[in-house]
Structure 1
Amino acid sequence: MIKVLLFAELQDAAGTDQLEVDMVGATINEVKSWLHTQYNLPSLDQTMVAVNESYAEETYVVREGDVIAFIPPVSGG
């Protein structure tokens, strides 16, 4: 199992700030596709992705126990 952390509008759209999913062996890109299909999450293409608190590429292959955070763009002033 892996833990997926969601922030801002992603959290609002999914109705939760975290999920536990069985996607060990999938790439980050595959996890994003699954999230979009299951939760119709907005703006996943613009999110930054961190795995275990370090930024990761979409080709990263998820391992057991990984914590993946999807961080949408932030605006403000």
Structure 2
Amino acid sequence: MKIKILCFGITRDIIGQFEYATSLEDAATVADLKQHLSANFPTFASLKSLRVAINSEYAEDTATLKENDEIVLIPPVSGG
């Protein structure tokens, strides 16, 4: 299945673009997506507290992705 990922903050720096399109197996999960991104962008694996949203809702690693879902990578936020 084809998916589109929107990247913010450090995830945009790691992936090198704001929108990233890729393909995953049908019924892939958020954990599968993270593994895919880590395999293609090794620095991605170093992110400790990355959140993922599917269609504007936070998703756990067990959430199943569907084709045409809008997936957003939300990196850890720091500052004061």
Task: Compute the TM-score of the two structures, normalised by the length of structure 2.
Answer: 0.86
SS where residue 20 of structure 1 aligns? Answer: strand
Q: Which residue of 2 aligns with 1:15?
A: 16
Which residue of structure 2 aligns with residue 34 of structure 1?
36
Work out the number of aligned pairs and report it. 76
- TM-score calculated relative to the size of structure 1: 0.89
SS across alignment from 1:37: helix
The residue aligned with 1:75 is 78
Q: After the TM superposition, which segments of 4 or more aligned residues of structure 1 sit over 2 Å from their partners?
A: none
Verify: 1:3 aligned to 2:4, yes or no. yes
CA distance in structure 2 between the partners assigned to 1:14 and 1:57 by the alignment: 21
SS of the residue 2:10 aligns to: helix
State the shift of 1:4 in Å.
0.9
Percent of residue pairs identical: 36
CA apart distance, 1:2: 1.0
Partner deviation per Cα, 1:24-60 (whole Å, 9 max, x = no partner): 42100000000011012140x4111100111111101
Task: State the secondary structure of the residue aligned to 2:36.
Answer: helix
